[in-house]
């Protein structure tokens, strides 16, 4: 998949697990929510801090920034509470022959 970043195989990222990959200079957080994969920019919109450093709640589909507690919906990137009010960029995810791919499509 030319122009896409390889995340790994579906057997490597089990439900509730996540991984960070890079597409050029863009860090992308990829999360498995009950077999569906979602990808967000690995950067809080409140401050420049890695979302992957915080807890992922797979039951709620939420990631929390450990710096100030902002929470984001993993499916949409929507900010769920302050101090972040802007959404996080959401990226496409494709699964081809058991391999997960994502890319910065901005």
CA distance linking residue 2 with residue 39, whole number of Å? 18
Rounded mean pLDDT of 28-53? 97
Q: Which residue has the tokens 């089990």?
A: 14
Q: Domain segments of the chain: what residues? A: 5-102
pTM for the model: 0.96
Cα–Cα distance measured from residue 85 to residue 18, given in angstroms and rounded to the nearest whole number: 24
* pLDDT, tens digit (0-9, with 9 covering 90-100), for 68-104: 999 999 999 999 999 999 999 999 999 999 999 999 9
Instruction: Determine contact, residues 42/30, Cβ cutoff 8 Å.
Output: no
- Paired residues of 93 in beta bridges: 102
* Topology classification of domain 5-102: Rieske Iron-sulfur Protein (2.102.10)
- Please compute the mean of the pLDDT values over residues 31-44 and round it to a whole number: 97
Residues in the chain: 106
């Amino acid at each position: 998949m030319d122009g896409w970043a390889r995340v790994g195989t579906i057997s490597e990222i089990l439900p509730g697990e996540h991984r960070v990959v890079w597409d050029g200079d863009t860090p992308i957080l990829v999360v498995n929510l009950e077999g569906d994969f979602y990808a967000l920019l690995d950067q809080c919109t409140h401050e420049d801090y890695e979302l992957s450093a915080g807890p992922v709640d797979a039951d709620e589909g939420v990631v929390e920034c450990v710096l100030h507690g902002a929470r984001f919906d993993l499916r949409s990137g929507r900010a769920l509470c302050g101090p972040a009010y802007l959404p996080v960029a959401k990226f496409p995810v494709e699964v081809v022959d058991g391999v997960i791919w994502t890319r910065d499509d901005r």
